Structure 1
């Protein structure tokens, strides 16, 4: 079973959500502060990272439109 990890840096306003081992991954900059975390060998998307996370969300909840599909299996 893969481990899902959620990391938030409040000072930098940076959210990172990963699934499984990301030690062999790179950040694919999609622009506008959005990043895919991609495995170098398999090209599998292993996570997402969002800069200025709080700025993008409302106080009512979290809803973000991402420019790619991402699921935790």
Structure 2
């Protein structure tokens, strides 16, 4: 996964961010199978509290094993 660096909040112009993840059942689930899911993370502006980005760390987990990329493949 490509590393994305937030530099400025588009809502308030803040430059400090916090990363958090949702607990409980708040997971991204594959549209094809309820058995494939990934934890949902959020980048939150420390100044205004806006969620400026939501993502999963390993999107490949949402695919069938046969559809996943081999390591080092891009």
TM-score (norm 1): 0.44
Greater C-alpha radius of gyration: 2
